[in-house]
Amino acid sequence: MTQSSQTAVLAGGCFWCTEAAFEQLAGVSDVESGYAGGAKDTANYEAVCRGNTGHAEVIRITYDPAKISYGQLLDVFFDAHDPTTLNQQGADRGTQYRSAIFVAGDEQRKVAEAKIAEHNTSGHFSRPIVTSIEPLTAFYPAEDYHQDYARANPNQPYIQAAAIPKACKVREKHPALMRREK
């Protein structure tokens, strides 16, 4: 992480899907799958899958705020998953798949609260947003085989059915934020 980069930690269901949606954004230098919301000793896939650790599957986004703002990341976040379903994204059910913004300080909290209010009043969603705003106490990286999973396994059925459509939706809704290939 460079001196000018910042991080955002977001939970929007399966981290394979959210990771793929954010890796394509200009100004994003890294997206890492992991866990947040629970204790260090339960920060592993086997324990988190049980749904009783307090953890959510999250991504930690490292970004350059001169190229993409925290608010823009949250706009993508709200379009990359369904923030109106409680503890569920598609067929994935449980608190580990909750919609949550893990904030690192008052500024992130203020932006998150404002974005939720904006989306709730805009009619962008037909139901109220249930995304929780939670303090980021720690981020625990997921096991190596979860990192860049969609990129490494593009033909895996779940990736084809869930991750790729989310990445495509983000490209369609946020074309100005996409990384330009050289």
For residue 161, the number of C-alpha atoms closer than 13 Å in the C-beta half-sphere is 8
Tokens encoding 23 = 């890796």
CA pair distance 152, 9, nearest whole angstrom: 22
Q: What is the CATH T-level fold of the domain 6-176, as seen in this structure?
A: Peptide Methionine Sulfoxide Reductase; Chain A (3.30.1060)
Domain boundaries, the chain: 6-176
Residue 14 is a catalytic residue:
yes
Three-class secondary structure of residue 118 per DSSP: helix
Confidence grade of residue 180 (pLDDT, cut at 50, 70, 90)? confident
pLDDT at res. 182: 55
pLDDT for 66-96, tens place per residue? Answer: 999 999 999 999 999 999 999 999 889 999 9
pLDDT for 128-178, tens place per residue? Answer: 999 999 999 999 999 999 999 999 999 999 999 999 999 999 999 999 999
Q: Which residue has the tokens 């798949």?
A: 97
**Residues 14 and 89 sit within 8 Å (Cβ to Cβ):** yes
CA pair distance 103, 92, nearest whole angstrom: 24
> pTM of this prediction?
0.95
Selected residue with higher pLDDT from 58 and 2: 58
pLDDT for 8-27, tens place per residue? Answer: 999 999 999 999 999 999 99
> Does the pLDDT value for residue 3 go beyond 80?
no
Catalytic position from the list 14, 17, 49, 168: 14
> Does the pLDDT value for residue 33 go beyond 70?
yes
